[in-house]
Structure 1
């Protein structure tokens, strides 16, 4: 009998120690995979969203070929985004880029790659085009800015600068430094 008790006691002690050891390991190795990974929790292709003003008129419309939302930092990445910013009694300003990133509160869009800001006249012809590599759009303020080199093409002019602030509702652009311009004379008939 004493041999059986010794074997049973050893098995019980082995079970208790194994249980304690596994419990101890699992407490120290509990890692949330989602907490470490920056993987999308959802995505959409051919994404479109429309934001309205208080009076029910469109404020802006955002399109993208691909949109991915990331839960870990509540941000959204966009591929080939196009943003239309609507203005009272004027054609919209259209902003396109290679890539975009939208902040948690959906108030800021960071655009990267080839960024174009275009404004047409009432006849639908290109009035103004701004070309840069990176830009930041503040949606509530209808404001765009960059600290990168820009080129502004108008109907008869080209202006180059480093840095810009664009107040889109006011149709006002501030050029920040190294401004150079070329204006073509109006052709005589």
Structure 2
């Protein structure tokens, strides 16, 4: 009878030991997998890229202070992106961060986004917190709060669609405008 209890005890001990080793091994493997996902496979500093239309004219110029590519999800993260959109009137888009997935033609910008004319004498400014810029269509859109300021005016609204090619801006909902004429 004692041999049966001893055999049962030894089996239980080895079972618990096996589970502990398995759990420990999973923890170690899980950490290295997470670290591999968070580490970029390549990176660059002071990125500069020009894109041209089919007719050879300049479509846009892209700058970034830093870029990192993460293999998991084929994701590229840009620090301090700046995009110069060439059209009838050139526009500059700046942000704190930009993200692009694979060969997707959508650049997702976030943090202190500013859209302004290249001509510094033009006082118009568009500001928001998140924005998606469709590179091939030259269209920027957001569902966030947008503030547009110009000479003696301020306009706010939720959601925006800006077509740089057609020079058209559409605020979607909750639009409020303040205008103060020059005295």
> Does the pair score TM above 0.5?
yes
Q: Is the 8 A contact 2:37 2:70 kept in 1?
A: no
Q: 2:94 aligns with which of 90, 93, 96?
A: 96
Q: CA deviation at 1:43?
A: 0.6
Q: 2:121 aligns with which of 120, 125, 135?
A: 125
Correspondence for 1:26: none
Correspondence for 2:168: 172
TM-score, normalised to structure 1, is 0.75
Residues 115-140 of structure 1, C-alpha deviation per residue, up to 9 Å, x if partnerless?
0011145xx41242100000000011
Q: Which sections of structure 2, spanning at least 5 residues, go unmatched?
A: 1-25
Q: Secondary structure at the match of 2:125?
A: strand
State the distance in 2 between where 1:169 and 1:186 align: 31
Structure 1 ranges of 4+ moved more than 6 A = none
Q: Does 1:37 align with 2:37?
A: yes
Q: 2:109 aligns with which of 101, 108, 111?
A: 111
> Of the two, which has the highest radius of gyration?
1
State the distance in 2 between where 1:115 and 1:42 align: 26
TM-score, normalised to structure 2, is 0.77
Q: CA deviation at 1:160?
A: 0.7
Residues 89-139 of structure 1, C-alpha deviation per residue, up to 9 Å, x if partnerless?
x3x110000011012114110011110011145xx4124210000000001
Q: Does 1:141 align with 2:106?
A: no
Q: Is the 8 A contact 2:98 2:110 kept in 1?
A: yes
Q: CA deviation at 1:72?
A: 2.3
Q: CA RMSD in A?
A: 2.3
Q: CA deviation at 1:38?
A: 3.3
Q: Secondary structure at the match of 2:55?
A: coil
Residues 40-70 of structure 1, C-alpha deviation per residue, up to 9 Å, x if partnerless?
1111111111111111111111101100112
Q: Is the 8 A contact 1:77 1:99 kept in 2?
A: yes
State the distance in 2 between where 1:60 and 1:84 align: 5
Q: How many residues align?
A: 156
State the distance in 2 between where 1:103 and 1:156 align: 40
Correspondence for 2:65: 65
